[in-house]
Amino acid sequence: MSVKQISVFLENRPGCLHEMTKALAEANIDLRGLSLAETSDFGIVRLIVDDVAGTAVTLRDAGFVASLTDVLAVEVPNVPGGLNKVLEVLDGAGINVEYMYAILGNKKSDTAYMIFRVSDNAKASSALSGSGVKIMGAEELSAL
């Protein structure tokens, strides 16, 4: 089970990130997760949102270039070593983690949530589920 991530390519200049978030705010898009990576010329913003289709249209209409990627949303025990357990399962299954980042969750929960971009979503999902790690769908993320 995977969720859709939106990657937005931004020019690395003052105000560009603000322009993007302003367009999303005006369209009433709820950000559930965000990661920003940059180079000297451009940045890549990775978003988990409540409305993937609406966000894609909003970004396109605002002049941004975006793409969709399937990623895994994983519950991680919010205890020392919780992330290590998840990574141990992926490593044991021969899955490469290309990148990952944390997303928002319920402040009162003892669970953290991470987005994983891996080399093989199906194999990773099977390995994680088989080890008792919960993979979340888009509906479950929206309920956080």
Q: Are residues 36 and 52 part of one domain?
A: yes
Query: What are phi and psi for residue 27, nearest 5 degrees?
Result: -90, 5
Check if the beta carbon of residue 84 is closer than 8 Å to that of residue 122. Answer: no
Q: Are residues 78 and 59 part of one domain?
A: no
Q: What's the confidence (pLDDT) of residue 39?
A: 79
Check if the beta carbon of residue 89 is closer than 8 Å to that of residue 121. Answer: no
Helix or strand holding residue 129 (H, E): helix 121-130
Asked if residue 124 has pLDDT above 80, the reply is: yes
Q: Are residues 29 and 61 part of one domain?
A: yes
For residue 10, being part of any structural domain is answered with yes
Tens-place pLDDT, residues 58-93: 999 999 999 999 999 998 888 899 999 999 999 999
Check if the beta carbon of residue 66 is closer than 8 Å to that of residue 7. Answer: yes
Domain count, the chain: 2
Asked if residue 112 has pLDDT above 80, the reply is: no
Tens-place pLDDT, residues 5-30: 999 999 988 899 999 999 999 999 98
Asked if residue 143 has pLDDT above 90, the reply is: no
Q: Are residues 78 and 65 part of one domain?
A: no
Asked if residue 107 has pLDDT above 80, the reply is: no
Look over the chain and give the mean of its residue pLDDT values, rounded to a whole number: 89
Q: Which residues contact 63 (CB under 8 A, 6 or more apart)?
A: none
Judged by DSSP in three states, 45 sits in strand
For residue 84, being part of any structural domain is answered with yes
Q: What's the confidence (pLDDT) of residue 144?
A: 72
Q: What's the confidence (pLDDT) of residue 89?
A: 95
Asked if residue 111 has pLDDT above 90, the reply is: no
Q: Are residues 122 and 95 part of one domain?
A: yes
Q: Are residues 58 and 23 part of one domain?
A: yes
**Alpha-carbon span 101 to 35, nearest angstrom:** 7
